[in-house]
Structure 1
Amino acid sequence: MVAKTFGSAVAGVDAKTITIEVNVGQGTGFYMVGLPDSAVKESQQRVESALKYYGFRMPRQRMVVNLAPADIRKEGSCYDLPIALGILQSSEQVAFPNLSEYVIMGELALDGKLRPVKGVLPIAIEARKRGYKGFIVPSENASEASIVNNLDVIGVENLEEAIGFLEGTVEIEPLVTDTRDIFYNSLDSYEFDFADVQGQDNIKRAMEIAAAGGHNVIMIGPPGAGKTMLAKRLPSILPPLTLQEALEATKIHSVAGKLERHASLIAQRPFRSPHHTISDVALVGGGGNPQPGEISLSHNGVLFLDELPEFKRTVLEVLRQPLEERKVTISRAKISVDFPANFMLVASMNPCPCGYYNHPEKECVCGPGIVQRYLNKISGPLLDRIDLHVEVTPVKFEEMTSMRKAESSKSIRDRVIIGRQRQIDRFKDNPQVYNNSMMPSHMVKEVCQINEAGKALLKTAMERLGLSARAYDRILKVARTIADLAESEQIKVEHLAEAIQYRSLDREGWAG
């Protein structure tokens, strides 16, 4: 007889329902069809061992396992459990009256225990959308799946529990998670806090502006000046995630298999810091079955690139399009998937190979032209997409040993939230724009109007400092954010003056 179980295949950050059909009939041989990869084909040995462990038999007849639709490639070991249950039903060793009401996923160990699988959250969302009663998953994935309401999430430890539940001999209560309770209780639990940072008040101010306007930022300074320490604390002053943003981030991490065991919802903004040896595919995403890269894993959060000039040129260039479009499209011969990539880019770098160019105390030993060649590793188009250039100087001994309590992340975040709210109100009629950094050029002219005194200051700055034309829009956007933080409707001269100082790398002669 033909038995049917239901699973899912993940494509991008979405899932598609897969029907696993098992037919045990006359003849000999085991056949698996429906575009399975090697990991799926190897399930025969895992399933056979697990069945025998619990006293069942693997039929020695002709057995065909079809994974439909047949034109979608099936990957991974997550089909072990539905295949095993289908074999038991088809060979009439057990009877499952409600098998068709559940989506079932799980990898089997040789002793029948279940191991966790990837992509559980999008599978659960698809199962609810398709009207299934429940979702049977390994216990370690149950918390993640239970984020989805109106779906019975049944966590099982092994094959025997799954069989007992479907037969009706074992009762397993569906796992219920109060998603909103978990979300709101975890919003403010950050590992790092700006209260730990002594001194560096000007850099904290730049970080506050970047957080308020969603601006990309690069920090230039000598080794040990605190660039990495400051970058790690940036997520703690960004506005809290909305529930929708948290679900988006959790889906991406679920698909990539980056969620911790028994984890449910990601409630803090992601912070990703890949090493400079990363490949362009690992950064942007890809592979035969496209997987999200680091820029998608930092969606709704921060991507920190430490020692920016040490990254390969090709790796840095693939950032340009995602920074503009806020998404990544991975195209293959048979499939094209979109991964969201709305992130803040924070980069850091030494000013030169030795690290001490423009240092107040130590002397730079780099030869003529070395500094400029080092900076030229970062292309103009990429630098054009970074709004704030911040020079970081070493902390003085007096500041490090000061007993003065530094401002906490919470108080900075409160100001950032007020600034962001003004932007949300301003751009409420433009769904594609919700912070100042996302404004297109035509909108900058409308939103960032300045008076005659401001125009005179900007003209003088561009002439005397040798600022490039690309700096003009960036200065206006940053000045608009500074005005929002000051709760000012107009961009004043002092707002422009502060914005101008954050264009260090645009100044002619900065690198000698």
Structure 2
Amino acid sequence: MLAKSYGSSVFGVDANVITIEVNVSQGTKFHMVGLPDNAIKESEHRIDAAIKYSGYKMPRQKVVVNLAPADVKKEGSAYDLPIALGILSGSEQIFTEELGEYMIMGELALDGTLRPIKGVLPIAIEARKQGFKGFILPQENAAEAAIVNNLDVIGVSNLNEAIGVLEGTSDIKPVEMDTRDIFFTNINDYEADFADVQGQENIKRALEIAAAGGHNVIMVGPPGAGKTMLAKRFPSILPPLSLTEALETTKIHSVAGRLGANASLIATRPYRAPHHTISDVALVGGGGIPQPGEISLANNGVLFLDELPEFKRTVLEVMRQPLEERRVTISRAKVSVDFPANFMLLASMNPCPCGYYNHPEKECVCPPGSVKRYLNKVSGPLLDRIDLHVEVTPVSFDQMTADRKAESSETIRTRVIAAKEVQKERFEGLEDIHSNALMPSQIVKEVCVINSAGKALLKNAMEKLGLSARAYDRIMKVSRTIADLAGSEDIKIEHLAEAIQYRSLDREEWAG
């Protein structure tokens, strides 16, 4: 007898329906076709044990399982449950007319219990799109899938419970989640706050400018100056995620299997801080069936690269295109997948190998030329994509022990949101441009107009400080953001002066 159930495969951040056809007929042996990987081929043994443990029999006949479309490679163990239900239906051990009404996914243990799977959210979205009545899946994944409305999400803990749902003998109710309530309840749920940071007012100011204009930042300073501490608090001053951004972010983390059991919607901006030993594939994504990397997991949030020169050169270079295009394309012989990569880059580094170049108290012990060689580990094209270069100095004892309460992240974020609203109006109708940092050169000329005094200041700065030509556009964009924070329609001379000081690494004499 032929039975059909439905599962799904995930490519990129989108899902496709997979039809699982099971034919039980006269003969012997178990056949699995439709380009399954080893994890799916091995499911025969898991399913055999799970069916027996659940009180049923594995048919001793010819069983053919076809995963259609047959020319698309399938991977993972999440097809165990729909295959098992198809076998039981095809061998007439269960009787149900609703097998084809549900999307079904789940990995079976040998005792018939279900283990959580990844990629649940895009599968649930596709199930609703294709008009399925519901989605039967492991209980640990139910909260994530229930983000999708107008779909009966039924979490089950074992094979018998799934059979009960299909035969109508179970009293398990669909999981219901108020997506908007979850979103708005957790939208400001950040663990770290700028109110905990004493001193470093100039660094906080630079990070506020970066958040307001969407600018990438690099912090240069000695060990223990507070670079990592400030970076961890940076997401807390970014504008809150929109519901659309939250769903997109959750989809990526779901596909990568990073949500964890019983997780639902990601309501805060992601913060990713990979170690400097990371490979280029782990950073940008890849694999036989491409999976998202760190830059996609940081989508709509922050990617923090600590000790930037210690990263392999090839790892840093692969970021150049995603930083410009805000997406990354992973190409294989038979498939090409796009992952979103709309992140803000926040980097930090020591000024030299020993860490104490330009330190106010400690002496640098690096040999001549080593500072320049250390800086040259970071390529010019990558630095060209970083708008703000900020020098971080250690906090004094008096600042650390001061009783004065530091400004909270909420207060800073209020100013950032106001500046973002100005930019939203400015770039209304322009595709893919929503912040000052994304302005191309032609729009910079239209939006960043300065008077003769400003031009004279900028010319003098570029000549006296030895600023490179690439610094010009960056200074103009940053000064536009500073003006937006100040509520000024025009870029004033004080806005330009502040922007100029954020180009430390462009100065010819910086590294001696």
- Tell me if both proteins adopt one fold, taking TM over 0.5 as the criterion: yes
Q: Deviations over 1:361-410 (max 9, x none)?
A: 00000011000000000000000000000000000000001011000000
TM-score, length-normalised on structure 2? 1.00
Does the alignment pair 1:146 with 2:146? Answer: yes
Number of the residue aligned with 1:206: 206
**Partner Cα distance (1:431, 1:179) in 2:** 28
Counterpart of 1:461, as a letter, is A
Number of the residue aligned with 1:427: 427
Q: Secondary structure at the match of 1:432?
A: coil
**Aligned counterparts, 1:263-412, within 5 A:** 263-412=263-412
**Aligned counterparts, 1:73-222, within 5 A:** 73-222=73-222
The size of the alignment, in residue pairs, is 512
Counterpart of 1:436, as a letter, is N
Report the Cα offset of residue 26 of structure 1.
0.7
**Partner Cα distance (2:498, 2:54) in 1:** 72
Does the alignment pair 1:30 with 2:30? Answer: yes
**Partner Cα distance (2:176, 2:479) in 1:** 47
| Structure 2 unaligned spans of 5+ | none
**Partner Cα distance (1:216, 1:96) in 2:** 57
Number of the residue aligned with 2:242: 242
Segments of 4+ in structure 1 off by > 2 A? none
Q: Secondary structure at the match of 2:148?
A: coil
| Structure 1 unaligned spans of 5+ | none
Report the Cα offset of residue 260 of structure 1.
2.0
**Partner Cα distance (1:331, 1:344) in 2:** 24
Does the alignment pair 1:438 with 2:465? Answer: no
Report the Cα offset of residue 54 of structure 1.
1.3
Number of the residue aligned with 1:455: 455
Cα RMSD of the aligned pairs, angstroms, is: 0.4
Does the alignment pair 1:8 with 2:8? Answer: yes
**Partner Cα distance (1:55, 1:455) in 2:** 83
Report the Cα offset of residue 55 of structure 1.
1.2
**Partner Cα distance (2:172, 2:71) in 1:** 35
Q: Secondary structure at the match of 2:348?
A: strand
Q: Secondary structure at the match of 1:67?
A: strand
**Partner Cα distance (1:355, 1:89) in 2:** 68
**Partner Cα distance (1:417, 1:386) in 2:** 22
Counterpart of 1:258, as a letter, is R
Counterpart of 2:74, as a letter, is K
Counterpart of 1:340, as a letter, is P
**Partner Cα distance (1:137, 1:360) in 2:** 60
Report the Cα offset of residue 450 of structure 1.
0.5
Report the Cα offset of residue 431 of structure 1.
2.4
Report the Cα offset of residue 243 of structure 1.
0.2
**Partner Cα distance (1:487, 1:361) in 2:** 39
Counterpart of 2:405, as a letter, is K
**Partner Cα distance (1:137, 1:453) in 2:** 66
**Partner Cα distance (2:54, 2:112) in 1:** 8
Q: Deviations over 1:209-232 (max 9, x none)?
A: 000000000000000000000000
Q: Secondary structure at the match of 1:505?
A: helix
**Partner Cα distance (2:428, 2:153) in 1:** 38
TM-score, length-normalised on structure 1? 1.00
Counterpart of 2:186, as a letter, is S
**Partner Cα distance (2:508, 2:464) in 1:** 9
**Partner Cα distance (1:159, 1:410) in 2:** 48
Number of the residue aligned with 1:262: 262
Q: Deviations over 1:187-246 (max 9, x none)?
A: 111000000000000000000000000000000000000000000000000000000000
